[in-house]
Chains A and B, each alone.
Chain A
Amino acid sequence: MNIANLSISEISNLYKNKELKPSEVYKEVFTNASLSESIIHAHLKLFQDEATEASKLSDERYAKGNPLSDIDGIPIAIKDNINLKNHETTCSSKMLSNYVSPYDATVITKLRNNGVVFTGKTNLDEFAMGSSTENSAFGPTKNPWNPEHVPGGSSGGSAAVVSVGSAIASLGSDTGGSIRQPASFCGVVGFKPTYGTVSRYGLVAFASSLDQIGPITNSVEDAKILYNSIKGHDPLDATSIKESTVEIPTDKNAKIGVIKELMEEGISDESKKEVEKTIKLLEENGNKVVEVSLPLTKMALSIYYLIAPAECSANLSRFDGVRYGIREAGATSYEMMENTRAEGFGEEVKKRILLGTYALSAGYYDAYYGQALKARSAITKDFENIFKEVDYLISPTTPTPAFKFGEKTENPLEMYMSDLCTIPANLAGIPAISIPTGLSKEDMPLSIQLMSPARTDSSLLEFSETIEKLLGFNQRTLLLEDMK
């Protein structure tokens, strides 16, 4: 039995039946981590002692028949832009290389109260800005399917650890596709919930109006379980929404729209084929599939690259060397702040801060940021209208399968294009999931993305389970099999 391939509910049942202990599962995932880390570098930190201790406490709870929840004793990895008390939160930045958080993010509090075992913190593009983890100040993460390929980003570490089995599941954050794109590249499930359903308190902000924490898992069911344990209104997050779930059809009556603009040029044939394959399965299942047009999705990238940098330019102002993080000396306090920021931030982060500062500057605001806000509401409206006709929207998650290291670093626009299909859901605040569908010619994972109206997260997850079953794809990376 390969424990790391088991689902959360399977593990949970084995725990309850006393056929398996949390400490055994943790030992297994830790072994996987120790074998894989030197190749893929997915964790920035492994909490071996603490996790061992936590898993033993979980053992005791199961022994007494008092587990805290259905995810008690499940080893979960956390993206290193989510605060865990008394641990470093580096955001893969030199700026925060020495920063230890004095508090838990709300999602961490919830998982902690549920008895989860935290395996460690995972690698990301610096401050979640990037699509390949090549922007990490601590070195890139490699794709477990082929270490010559990127794992995607920015939650590349979180996707890779699940893919390779060094955690049963993980948390990532998604601002323009940072959960779904790496999940797709690494052949796992990635779910970005409706904006506001999961508290952002304790998530280091990149672009506050777009950021959302979500699960990366081996299966849709696992994503559902993890999502249900982290969601909910949080009085510490003013943008968190009070629960009011909207239900839409999840059976044969569910109507699916194929977004025409995300099946045109710029999308590889391989990626399109996966969507077509899924459509065929859905039609066989009795679902109605129609082509729909969302012309503004072609502008999504431009809108995103004004709004996200503008917000990040203010969000990252607090990193100035005054109160925490690294500090570079200077003759005056202003010089100190300048030197610290020059030294602490990487190139991509600086580029976006400059872009955002420019877009918000007097004389340019109306032309750039102001226009982007208008276009964003127009896209949101378009989605609302299209969802009057269909229940779900389908597209590829990414235009291509995982690319090779260095392939796109010289051409930022091409790198940005890899988020083409995922960005619209962030702009509209709607839920979206990436489901693995098959492998490319080069044996790299491929996925489809499913989107649905705001607050229909539960329906989306339920319907995704159906699609996952129809696809029947459950291949995993053989990286560790080769090593063992």
Chain B
Amino acid sequence: MNMVPTIGIETHVELNTNSKMFCKCAVVETENPNESLCPTCLGLPGALPVPNLKAIESITMLALSANCAITKNGMFHRKNYFYPDLPKNYQISQFDLPVGVDGSIEIILNETKEIVEIERVHMEEDTGKSIHKGSGRIDSATSTLLDFNRSGVPLVEIVTKPVIKSSKEAVSYIEELRQLVIDLKISEGKLEKGNLRFDANISVAQEGDNELGVKVEIKNMNSLRSLEKAIDYEIKRQTKLIESNEVIIQETRHWDEDKEVTSSMRSKEGSADYRYFSDPDLPNMILSDEFIDNIKKTIPILPSEKRDKLSETGLSISESNYLSKSEEWIYDLFLKTQKITNDTKSTFNLITGELQGQLRKAGTEELPEWFTSERLSEIIKMINENKISFTSGKEILTNLIKNEIIPTKYAEDNNLIQDNDSDEIAKIVQNVIESNKEVVERIKDGEEKLVGFLVGQIIKSSKGNINPSIAKDLLLKEL
């Protein structure tokens, strides 16, 4: 029998607002615990929440960008559960009236576009952090330290419908969502900092079954790698259970990063009845048409729109996807340069290969302002027209990153212009063949790799002014 997995993903995105969701405390990045606190985010008696307008703008922007219907008359609910790092022992969240519902996000899987349907996008506040001593879990810890710096930081939760079919698709979805929040400038989008945190709901059913299998929630996946591994592991685990006619328990399981297995987690509060009710401390969240229209106006170009634009230049879907997830300036540089060179492939290769590689080596992410698409185009053109060798192109590129040069002038000044006069080259080729007779014999006997050696000799004799491909062509003709 053929098993089909179905996956839904809940992602928490930490917004990059200056202050927390319901108080004026700064959102801080510090190792010093309990630095940014006030009566509200510490849940002191009598303190009240006041919503952060910037956060509501951010979530509205995200919900619109994910093609959601916006709830114009929404509200905040209290989600009740006891946990030491939840200061009020309820979390201000949203229940049946989230900011956005019924959306979709386009993702790329290899060379195809897929649509991941979004169930809801809602606003909530983060909890504090628990540091359990003597054990990883609260029940068995000898003591627990609490840090409330994170308490009250605005979080957006995005929940997909159960439509994802593989771990690869799940990874691609998170990559897309990450790029989306970065492009919208509403979150730093750094996975390693916990800006995006995800849980996966996984079930497996027999192919053709109308009903989904028993849902298991997986928590504690801290990277895309662990997301992929955990999903694959869980699919295998559930498939095995079904195949041996065993029961799958609906539960929450914990991904163990070291052992690379999921294990059953004891639930927080027996059965989870969160007793949601509208928070009487907060008025309804009214999002006026005017407010929504103003947000729409500020939405920048989205990753999917970038891909469409890139595809128009002739890039493949995966190449477009790669550039849509690169830094903004790389995307811009490609489009501008491609427009001048009209050579999509060379432009893409030089930017994503040589340029990005050199920058990575130099440990920088930015280009100097003189590094314009015009100057880059000069290099590409010279290479394409065989005026310089690719090696010389690289050299010019390296220089252009460091110094304000004009590539064509630099090539001339540094004798990088290739000698493309075939007669001249033919003479040099003849000379090289004459003085390397032994090598020529060996090539004829089948040692083809020695061709490269002779080409090297030719270039050496010409002081690097010979186009290697022309030299090689001539050499092979002579041989």
A interface residue numbers (CB < 8 A to B)? 81-83, 89, 91, 96, 99, 101-103, 105, 200-205, 207-209, 235-239, 310-311, 313-314, 317-320, 322-324, 332-334, 337, 357, 360-362, 365, 369
Give the contacts of B65-83 with A (CB-CB under 8 A). Answer: 78, 80, 82
A82 and B46 contact, Cβ closer than 8 Å, known pairs A239-B283, A310-B277: yes
Within 8 A of A (CB), among B116-174: 138-139, 144, 146
B43 close to A (CB within 8 Å): yes
- B-side residues, CB < 8 A to A, are 39, 42-51, 78, 80, 82, 84, 87-90, 138-139, 144, 146, 273, 275-277, 280-283
A318 touches B50 (CB 8 A): no
Q: In the complex, A105→B44 CA distance in Å?
A: 12
Chain B residues lying within 8 Å of A333, measured Cβ to Cβ, are 84, 138, 144
Q: Can you name 5 A-B residue pairings with CB atoms under 8 Å?
A: A203-B46, A208-B281, A238-B51, A333-B84, A334-B139
Q: How far is the CB of A359 from chain B (nearest CB, A)?
A: 9
Asked if B46 contacts A314 (CB within 8 A), the reply is no
CB distance from B134 to the nearest CB of A (A): 13
Q: Which of B82, B273, B281 contacts A361 (CB 8 A)?
A: B273
Q: Which residue of A lies closest to B22 (CB)?
A: A238
Partner of B280 from the list A105, A203, A204, A209 (CB cut-off 8 Å) is A209
Q: Are A83 and B46 in contact (CB under 8 A)?
A: yes
One of A204, A238, A311, A362 near B49 (C-beta < 8 A): A238
Main SS of chain A's interface residues? loop
Instruction: Give A330 to B47 CA distance when docked, in angstroms.
Output: 28
CB distance from B22 to the nearest CB of A (A): 9
Cβ-defined contact, B44 with A101, below 8 A: yes
Q: Are B275 and A237 in contact (CB under 8 A)?
A: no
Kindly report which residue of chain A lies nearest to residue B49, judged by CB atoms: A238
Q: Cβ of A201 and Cβ of B46 under 8 Å apart?
A: yes
CB–CB B45/A207 < 8 A: no
Taking the nearest CB of chain A, how far is it from the CB of B291, in angstroms? 17
Measured in the bound complex, the distance between the Cα atoms of B281 and A319 in whole Å is 18
A207 vs B276: C-alpha distance when bound (angstroms): 16
Which among A317, A320, A324 is the interface contact of B80 at CB below 8 angstroms?
Answer: A317
Please judge, given known A-B contacts A314-B277, A318-B88, whether A323 and B43 are in contact too, CB under 8 Å: yes
| Contact for B45 among A235, A237, A238, A318, CB less than 8 A | A318
Known contacts A238-B282, A318-B88, A360-B275: A337-B82 contact under CB 8 Å:
yes
- A311/B44 in contact, CB under 8 A: no
Does the CB pair B87–A323 fall under 8 Å? yes
CB of A265 to closest CB in B, whole Å: 33
How far, in whole Å, are A314 and B318 apart by their CA atoms in the complex? Answer: 50
Separation of A200 and B273 alpha carbons in the complex (Å): 29
**Residue from A201, A204, A205, A333 with most neighbouring chain B CB atoms (10 Å):** A333
Task: State whether B49 touches A83 (Cβ < 8 A).
Answer: no
Tell me if B84 and A314 are in contact (CB < 8 A): no
Cβ of B43 and Cβ of A318 under 8 Å apart?
yes
Q: Are A332 and B50 neighbours in the complex by a CB distance under 8 Å?
A: no
Measured between beta carbons, the chain B residues less than 8 angstroms from A99 are 45
Q: Quick one: which of A310, A317, A324 contacts B88, CB cutoff 8 A?
A: A317
B50 — which chain A residues lie within 8 A by C-beta? Answer: 235-238
Known: A103-B39, A357-B275, A361-B273. A322 touches B44 (CB 8 A): no
> How far apart are the CA atoms of A101 and B47 in the complex, in Å?
11
Residues on the A chain within 8 Å of B283, using CB: 238-239
CB distance from A473 to the nearest CB of B (A): 36
For the complex formed, measure the closest distance between the CB of B21 and the CB atoms of chain A, giving whole angstroms: 12
Known A-B contacts: A105-B46, A200-B46, A317-B80. Give 19 more (CB < 8 A). A99-B45, A101-B44, A101-B46, A102-B44, A201-B47, A201-B48, A205-B281, A208-B280, A238-B48, A311-B280, A313-B80, A313-B275, A314-B277, A318-B88, A323-B146, A333-B138, A333-B144, A360-B80, A365-B275
- Which residues of chain A come closer than 8 Å to B44, judged between CB atoms? 101-103, 324
Task: Report the 3 A-B pairs with minimum CB-CB distance, sorted nearest first.
Answer: A317-B89, A209-B280, A208-B280
**Shortest distance from the beta carbon of B345 to any chain A beta carbon, whole Å:** 57
Q: Complex Cα distance A286/B25, Å? A: 57
Docked Cα-Cα span, A337 to B269, in Å, equals: 13
Contact B80 A314 (CB under 8 A): yes
Chain B residues closer than 8 Å to A310, beta-carbon distance: 277
A454 to chain B, nearest CB (A): 15
Q: How far is the CB of B292 from chain A (nearest CB, A)?
A: 21
Residues of B within 8 A of A319 (CB): 45
CB distance from B24 to the nearest CB of A (A): 9
Of B45, B89, B275, B277, the residue contacting A204 (CB under 8 A) is B45
Q: Which of B49, B78, B84 contacts A322 (CB 8 A)?
A: B84
Q: Which residues of A contact B45 (CB under 8 A)?
A: 83, 89, 91, 96, 99, 101, 204-205, 318-319
Chain A residues with CB under 8 A of B88: 314, 317-318
A174 to B44, CA, bound (A): 21
